[in-house]
Structure 1
Amino acid sequence: MAELRNCPMCDSFFNYTGLREVCHNCAQKEEDMYQIVYRFLRKRENRAANVDRIVEATGVEREMLYKWVRKGRLHPAVFPSLGYPCDNCGHLTNKGKLCEKCQGEMKSELRTFEAAQEFRNDIKRRDRTTYLSDKK
């Protein structure tokens, strides 16, 4: 079921159905910008262009490029210099929310936490030792 929302780009009302986050007019403008960027990147000399070069040459906003890479409209396999910022450190990544370095750090911290948790559980198990006495 559609709900009435304000477009985050132009602040006009539109029926939000879950397909687009913006109104029809802004979605059309986004699509036009995408076509400009895609035509720019299809030229052989521009395929390795980085985000700064694309922004400078096409006038498209950096966040819009990141959005298209996240959604898979611009593939880093085809355009190797593209990516979007890691949610943790801001370094450009091509998949997921975290870059390889942050993923490695998080996995390491998780292993350390799990080892500490296991150590605490072992101590609790040892403290549960019951002693029997011969008193009657």
Structure 2
Amino acid sequence: MKDVMNCPKCGSIFVKAFRPICSNCYREQEANFEKVSKFLRKKQNRTASVQEVHAKTEVPLDLIHQFVREGRILRSHFPNLGYPCESCGNEIQQGRICDHCRDNITDGLDSIKKTEQLKEQIADREREKIHTYTTLQDRIEKKD
């Protein structure tokens, strides 16, 4: 049997073939995209922010963010449009997280790596101590 599932938007049952939502929700989504696209085609609206587009078209913010994230609305043509960072919620133009969050993650991973290297060095020193045999004669010779 094909992939039968409930639509995540409306809950109706549909066969998942090409889209993750049912046909009715897809038509509604496309109508909303057309509203946003029509609004942004006007020259005076090309510098509108996501909140302005939402206020004028009454299209939900998450749907506008989805259009930008998917590349259906080109960020190069509309510089003030973006979507929220998945970590902190700041508006970004590309990727999944902002530069600040990416730097925090990278710094955290670097510190973990340095800590592991330090632990390895300490363990290596301890192993050297264990495998070093000295006799009483060796100790006396070292003192002289």
Q: Which amino acid aligns with 2:16?
A: Y
Note the 1:83-122 alignment, pairs <5 A. Answer: 83-122=82-121
Q: Aligned partners of 1:132 and 1:65: how far apart in 2?
A: 71
> Higher helix share goes to which structure?
2
Task: Please give the residue correspondences for 1:56-75 in structure 2 after superposition, counting only pairs within 5 Å.
Answer: 56-75=55-74
Residue 14 of structure 1 aligns to a residue in which SS?
strand
Partner of 1:133: 134
Please give the residue correspondences for 1:20-31 in structure 2 after superposition, counting only pairs within 5 Å. 20-31=19-30
1:39 correspondence with 2:44: no
Q: Percent identity?
A: 32
State the secondary structure of the residue aligned to 1:128: helix
- 2:13 alignment partner in structure 1: 13
Deviation of 1:98 (Å):
0.7
Partner Cα distance (1:52, 1:132) in 2: 74
The whole-number CA distance in structure 2 between the counterparts of 1:60 and 1:121 is 55
- Greater radius of gyration (CA): 2
Residue 29 (structure 1) shift: 1.1
Counterpart residue identity of residue 75, structure 2: P
Structure 1 spans left out of the alignment, 5+ residues: none
> Cα distance 1:79–1:2, how it changes in 2: closer, same or farther (>3 A)?
farther
Give the Cα separation in 1 of the matches to 2:99 and 2:135.
61
Query: In structure 1, how many angstroms separate the alpha carbons of the residues matched to 2:51 and 2:120?
Result: 51
In structure 1, C-alpha distance between the alignment counterparts of 2:11 and 2:123, rounded to whole Å: 58
Could you state the TM-score of these two structures normalised by the residue count of structure 1?
Answer: 0.91
Q: Which amino acid aligns with 1:78?
A: H
RMSD: 1.5
Corresponding residue for residue 49 of structure 1: 48
Q: What is the number of residues matched between the two proteins?
A: 134
- The gaps in structure 2 that reach 5 residues or longer are 137-144
Amino acid at match of 1:12: S
- Compute the displacement of 1:2 (Å): 2.8
